[in-house]
Amino acid sequence: MSKILTPEYVSMLESVIGKSFRRLIQESDSKTVGTAAYWAYKAKHVIKGGVSSGRVGIVPLDMFDANLVPTYKIINERSLPTTSHTVSIPTLTIFNGEEFRTIPAVQNYNVGKLDGNGTAVDNPLGGSHPWRYSCIIGVLNNSTEGTVEYYIGTIKLPKRSAKGINEYDDLYESVPATYPRESFIPISIANVTATKVYPSSSFHFTDIVYRPTIQDDEPLQDLFPALNKLEDYLESIDFSYAFQPFMEALNTVTRLSANVSFKEYWDRKRLEIQFRHNKDFRMLYHRLYKRELGVDYTDTFSSNSVTMTYEEPAVPCAVEVVDMLSRNQGHPTVSVILNVKEPGFARLQSRIQPGDEFVYVNGDLSSWPSAGKIFIEDDFYGIRTIVGYNSITYHSSGDFTKFDLSGPIDLEPNIIIGPGARVYRLSEKIAHFNSGSSPAYRSVVVEGQYLGVAAAYATYSYSGTVDINFKVRSY
């Protein structure tokens, strides 16, 4: 058998091609801090001044201060050997993407001694290496009802370590690029140990969204067009076409060896063996062919205990449910119930804690069903949960929608879902597998455009024993 038909070889190829593609496309995203397009935007901003719609961040208290550099230094209030974990923060002005807000100064804000998993930093580790965690301190939109309000809040970083104290050096490198910026404006990061809080110098970290407007016309007139063009260019580079000949060649080689296309071959093979396409490679495939290459939403499930992969397709697509077993004549009708994710998502506005009975979500979602289920997904902390709701109410004053839940939300102790988590509307779909004989890999396609599946289970009314063996995947 040709190597091109083996999962090991194709996995390695997909991995290196996927990584190559991923590394390139992220540079075109001007909203992601640190990319080429982001810095081109910042260069333009230096000349243009002011704020840019949709960007969020802190602004200098004195907007006419030509000195540019805000001095938001979070002061370390702690001194050994006390054990409170507090910092003080001066009055801040923020731009939330639409308007300016002033946040009053906070004295002795308690960062807390528990890390993101609820472990205290003063747990013993021995020696001179106390446990520590890192957190981002920022301005949090914590509104529930009524007017929009802002508070100081923290995001605790998943990376943790036990390290000597007095160490600031890896603070910046510890900050992930993917924390929810939409509803959280960072002002500093800090290492929290059993004995001290070490805040960073905020200027290096914060995305300053305001710059004084340049006072002269000439630099703006002379320099802005070229900078604007640079940003446009970087945002518009389409790297996917560089990989098109490779994709075509991969298809050709697979056809020569197996008489079917690359997608067809692996669609079938994925039913027979454990194989998943590389996520970045799937993204590339979608960019070129405007369709999903193939992604599994569940592992093969032999009972109603289903392991969801929580993968999303590169583009909304139909869902395929496959019966993995061959069936004889006496096989009864079995239905697979799916909670599919509708395209698009909203962002959680407030925090959710165990036992909460309301959920507040950004924007006007009054077009969503008045009762049903939503799926809340927080990649940052790896938390996913389905909750039912009985009614929804849109509050125009704060531009958010309140969901009245069917019951108290069930989360593990100490788990908090933060603002910015994605909220999906779920729909229930059913794949019927009619009674009677059928060969293995009979499939039922649930037509529609869905962003994956949040939950699945099989059901039947037959009184005898039925072997359940299904897989749910993209179609």
Partner 1 sequence: MAVISPTYLQNLLYAIDKSYESLKKAYGDKESPGSALYNLSLAKVLVRGGSDHELGLLPNYSHTNEGNYVVSPTSVTRQDDGNNLNHFQISFPTISFVYKGVRGYVNSTTLKFNSKYDGNYEGGFAYVRGRDRYARINTTGTGSDRTTVFMVYIKDLQLNRDQVNKLYYYTGSLDYTTSHVVDKAGNYQSDPYVPPPPAPPSTDGPYIPLAYIKPSRYTEGGGDRTGIRLDLTRPYSLEQVHYAPQEETGILFNLLPALISAESSVLNQSSLNPYKEVFDSLSSHCNSRASISFREYVYNNGLVVSKSLRELYSLLYNRDFILNFCSGSRNGISTTGAVALAKGKIIIKFNEVSNRAALPGALGTYLIADKVKVIGKVTGTTDYILKLANYVNWPQSGRVGIRSSFSNGIYDYSLGAEGDKLSITSDSHPDVVPDEIYLLSEKTCVIPDNIAAGASVDLANEDYFGFWGFVDSARASQIASNSSFVIRTV
**List 141, 174, 278, 474, residue binding partner 1 (CB under 8 A):** 174
Dist. CA 15–CA 371, nearest whole Å: 42
The smaller minimum CB distance to partner 1, of residues 108 and 161, is found at: 161
| 239 makes contact with partner 1 (CB under 8 A) | yes
| 5 makes contact with partner 1 (CB under 8 A) | no
Contact string (CB under 8 A) for partner 1, positions 419-458, x = contact: ----------------------------------------
CB of 276 vs partner 1, minimal distance in Å: 15
Dist. CA 330–CA 332, nearest whole Å: 6
The smaller minimum CB distance to partner 1, of residues 382 and 464, is found at: 382
| 258 makes contact with partner 1 (CB under 8 A) | no
**List 64, 80, 146, 218, residue binding partner 1 (CB under 8 A):** 218
| 245 makes contact with partner 1 (CB under 8 A) | yes
The smaller minimum CB distance to partner 1, of residues 18 and 452, is found at: 18
The smaller minimum CB distance to partner 1, of residues 159 and 432, is found at: 159
| 307 makes contact with partner 1 (CB under 8 A) | no
Integer-rounded Cα radius of gyration of the chain: 26
| 405 makes contact with partner 1 (CB under 8 A) | no
**List 27, 296, 311, 312, residue binding partner 1 (CB under 8 A):** 27
**List 158, 180, 372, 448, residue binding partner 1 (CB under 8 A):** 158
| 242 makes contact with partner 1 (CB under 8 A) | yes
The smaller minimum CB distance to partner 1, of residues 84 and 161, is found at: 161
| 31 makes contact with partner 1 (CB under 8 A) | no
CB of 220 vs partner 1, minimal distance in Å: 9
Could you tell me which of 474, 434, 472, 475 has the C-alpha nearest to residue 324? Answer: 472
| 190 makes contact with partner 1 (CB under 8 A) | no
| 159 makes contact with partner 1 (CB under 8 A) | yes
The smaller minimum CB distance to partner 1, of residues 58 and 227, is found at: 227
Dist. CA 326–CA 440, nearest whole Å: 4
| 12 makes contact with partner 1 (CB under 8 A) | yes
| 66 makes contact with partner 1 (CB under 8 A) | yes
